[in-house]
Structure 1
Amino acid sequence: MSDRLKISRRAFAGGAVVLGLGSSFARAQGFAGLGKQADGFATVVPGKAFSFPADLGPHPDYRIEWWYVTANLTDSTGAAYGAQWTLFREASRPGPQQQEWANQQIWMGHAAVTRADLHRFSETFARGGVGQAGVEAKPFQAWIDSWEMRGLDAMNDMTIAPLELSASGADFSYALRLDADHPLALQGEAGYSRKSERGQASYYFSQPFFKVTGHITIDDKPAEVTGQAWMDREWSSQPLAADQTGWDWLSLHLASGEKLMLFRLRQTDGNDYASGNWIRSDGGSEPVPPAEIRMTPMALTEIGARKLPTAWRIEIAARGFAIETIALNARSWMGTSFPYWEGPISFTGSHSGVGYLEMTGY
């Protein structure tokens, strides 16, 4: 598949061509029409008992899911980098899984690297059933074409570590090793992540404690890098409500060793839905009540005809948390089939650290 066959974790688009989702509103909601009815697909309900390694693998009865890694890295000179690796799966229709070319699964991969002075990305697609892309739970492996995330021989199912991660585009590549000594963190309410007050939800867990070593090559110039990474696993059949137009999502590595995930789903009536989880340094995850979250855009970046809030003030008063974010590269635009913004950030204020910001639907 072409590196430039121009689609987002959460804004996953390849199947839109297959499904005919051509309207601007469908494009705002992303791949598979995330706010459309999902009759015939499995539903997300509270109280799921997660099982590992099984839940590292695919869930084809649900319409959409992703395996998503973002990394905040530095080289030996202290220069900052970001790296993104994403594999999406979407079912074009419900029902028993068909074999070979009749299989209804569509796979899409995104990879990107970011520095202060550049942002490079690549995209690739595959059809299910023919071995070109897929995920296996044990031994863990996720792949599309030559891009791969795989567990090493000593991989622990409860930490998803150690892993090797690799991808390449026309003008970049990376090969990274991810290690972790903390268990997976369940997002939302014990892994049940609400997206609205009307029943939309996903199953969602993360590994936010990865330590990274490896190298990134840009324009044939390699750099050894180290840093932190965050992996998200999420699946659903209808994760958005029909009147939600996109989201602003952050994953934050606090200098204290704590982690924070926050998102805001924008609604047409202005009553945006917020959610988050505070992850303690020991790995325990606590939901942040939506009413406590304030996400305020502070600066806009114009990219083409779009104006995007690439700097934010984030406040959780009950925790004494008040920070302002700055993008490593405010032009971290993913010009993929359904375009979105995604890139590394840093933050200062009551707490300091680094993280990632993703914005869709602008």
Structure 2
Amino acid sequence: MNRIKVLLLSLCFFHFSFPKDHSFHPDFGLEWCYFVGHIQAESGNRYGYELSFFRLKFSDGEDWNPEVFPVHFAISDLSKKRHQTAQTIKRNLGGMAGYEDNRIFSGEFEMQILSKDRFRIQANPKSKEIALSLELEGNGKILSHGKDGVSIKSKRNPNIFSYYYSYPRLKTKGRLSFLGKEEIIVSGDSWMDHEWSEKTSKQVPTLAKGQSGWDWICLMDDKGGDYVFFRFRESPTASPEIFGTYRDPKGNVTYWSEPKTIQMEPIGHPWKSKETKIAYPLQWRIKYPGGEWNVVPIFNEQEFDGSVSTQTIYWEGAVEAKDPNQKKSAKGYLELKGYQKSKAWWEF
């Protein structure tokens, strides 16, 4: 019996339980829960946003188990092609950060879990350049990845896995502030992703090792289909492993995990950040059984420099996609991690 089968058998009794599993999980060492979305203001302006809550638990036994809670926050003005970010990192000391059954918070950032299908997210960083308060409501259709939500990231190394679900198409309303302009958000679609892993945190978490990298994209098409594509690299020299999840408009879910089932390749010339000098492949061609996506960013300058919180620099931004064969389009978010030079400290 190979290692993957042993791992899956050991996890076969796991099942998600909502709304409880929307919050953080104290028995695990590494976790993140984040929201991204395309939203429309009353003024007609279009925005994209990212609000990511991280949790890392260090441990050398039962006597010392500190937790840290970084947050990454960004708003992209899609109409004027401008991008602003904010971030923090707090400890679970003095009420500065933490989590309960119905909320996650760190500094000026909070996620409220109102029910299985409703959330309120708030971000009011001290810089005052960007802020938001959004109400999100789902249709009850949470999307699990992998068998029973156990998402294997590498068939070559089955120790690299997470418990992983998404909540696409969260209807979004509220308000935001961007460089002094107050906006009323009247409509939009948000996407929630939540992953946790590393049952023990006595060593550096596998998914957080600085050598790893990935290219992740979520897409919501105009026919009602939802997609996740994930291109994982265990190290800069390792060949990528590609996985995918598709839920059709009727609710049927397909998992793609066998080699060469999906082709996910960058096209065109990489874009190089003026600030960090890192080059990112921002245009992609994705071929999957029955279709093809050509993915492009709405604009290039959507890099996130998380040096002062997670020490990670990555690209995460709003994208659009077209399927030339089926004549359909999609909107979503793309994340590119692992293009900076490795650091001595671990990275998310």
TM-score w.r.t. the length of structure 2 is: 0.82
Equivalent residue, structure 1, for 2:342: none
Equivalent residue, structure 1, for 2:16: 50
**1:55 alignment partner, SS class:** helix
Equivalent residue, structure 2, for 1:276: 244
Equivalent residue, structure 1, for 2:346: none
Equivalent residue, structure 2, for 1:358: 335
> For each residue in 1:25-74, what CA deviation from the matched residue of structure 2 results, as whole angstroms up to 9, or x when unmatched?
xxxxxxxxxxxxxxxxxx99532122223322322222200111111112
**2:239 alignment partner, SS class:** coil
Counterpart selection for 2:287 from 303, 309, 315: 315
Change (3 A) 1:330 1:103: same
Q: Does 1:228 align with 2:199?
A: no
Residue 247 of structure 1 aligns with an amino acid whose one-letter code is W
Residue 224 of structure 2 aligns with an amino acid whose one-letter code is G
Residue 104 of structure 2 aligns with an amino acid whose one-letter code is A
How big is the shift at 1:230? 0.7
Alpha-carbon distance in 2 for matches of 1:178, 1:85: 13
Residue 303 of structure 2 aligns with an amino acid whose one-letter code is W
Identity %: 28
How big is the shift at 1:281? 2.9
Contact in 2 for aligned 1:103/1:129 (Cα 8 Å):
no
Contact in 2 for aligned 1:346/1:355 (Cα 8 Å):
yes
Equivalent residue, structure 2, for 1:64: 30
Q: Does 1:297 align with 2:258?
A: no
Change (3 A) 1:247 1:45: farther
Residue 82 of structure 1 aligns with an amino acid whose one-letter code is G
> For each residue in 1:151-178, what CA deviation from the matched residue of structure 2 results, as whole angstroms up to 9, or x when unmatched?
33xx2x2xxx221111033211111110
Contact in 2 for aligned 1:166/1:176 (Cα 8 Å):
yes
Contact in 2 for aligned 1:342/1:356 (Cα 8 Å):
yes
Change (3 A) 1:274 1:241: farther
**1:196 alignment partner, SS class:** coil
Moved over 6 A (4+): none
RMSD: 2.2
Change (3 A) 1:151 1:278: same
Alpha-carbon distance in 2 for matches of 1:243, 1:68: 20
Contact in 2 for aligned 1:105/1:129 (Cα 8 Å):
no
Gapped runs of 5+ residues in structure 1?
Answer: 1-42
How big is the shift at 1:284? 4.4
Alpha-carbon distance in 2 for matches of 1:283, 1:68: 23
Equivalent residue, structure 2, for 1:10: none
Q: Does 1:252 align with 2:222?
A: no
Equivalent residue, structure 2, for 1:143: 105
Alpha-carbon distance in 1 for matches of 2:165, 2:332: 17
Q: Does 1:118 align with 2:89?
A: no
Number of matched pairs: 306
Equivalent residue, structure 1, for 2:173: 213
Contact in 2 for aligned 1:245/1:361 (Cα 8 Å):
yes
Equivalent residue, structure 2, for 1:334: 304
How big is the shift at 1:335? 1.2
How big is the shift at 1:269? 3.9
Larger relative contact order, structure 1 or 2 (CA cutoff 8 Å, min sep 6): 1
Alpha-carbon distance in 2 for matches of 1:83, 1:217: 12
Change (3 A) 1:216 1:353: same
Equivalent residue, structure 2, for 1:347: 321
How big is the shift at 1:244? 5.4
> For each residue in 1:207-252, what CA deviation from the matched residue of structure 2 results, as whole angstroms up to 9, or x when unmatched?
1120111222112211222210111110012454979530000011
Change (3 A) 1:314 1:241: same
Change (3 A) 1:189 1:78: farther
Q: How does 1:51-200 map to 2 (within 5 A)?
A: 51-76=17-42, 78-93=44-59, 95-96=61-62, 103-116=65-78, 117-137=81-101, 140-152=102-114, 155=115, 157=116, 161-169=117-125, 170=127, 171-197=129-155, 198-199=157-158, 200=160
Alpha-carbon distance in 1 for matches of 2:251, 2:136: 17
How big is the shift at 1:302? 0.7
Alpha-carbon distance in 1 for matches of 2:88, 2:140: 32
Alpha-carbon distance in 2 for matches of 1:245, 1:58: 23
Alpha-carbon distance in 2 for matches of 1:336, 1:241: 14
Alpha-carbon distance in 2 for matches of 1:44, 1:335: 39
TM-score w.r.t. the length of structure 1 is: 0.79
Contact in 2 for aligned 1:184/1:283 (Cα 8 Å):
no
Residue 186 of structure 1 aligns with an amino acid whose one-letter code is S
How big is the shift at 1:345? 0.5
Change (3 A) 1:192 1:239: farther
Residue 328 of structure 1 aligns with an amino acid whose one-letter code is I
Equivalent residue, structure 1, for 2:162: 202
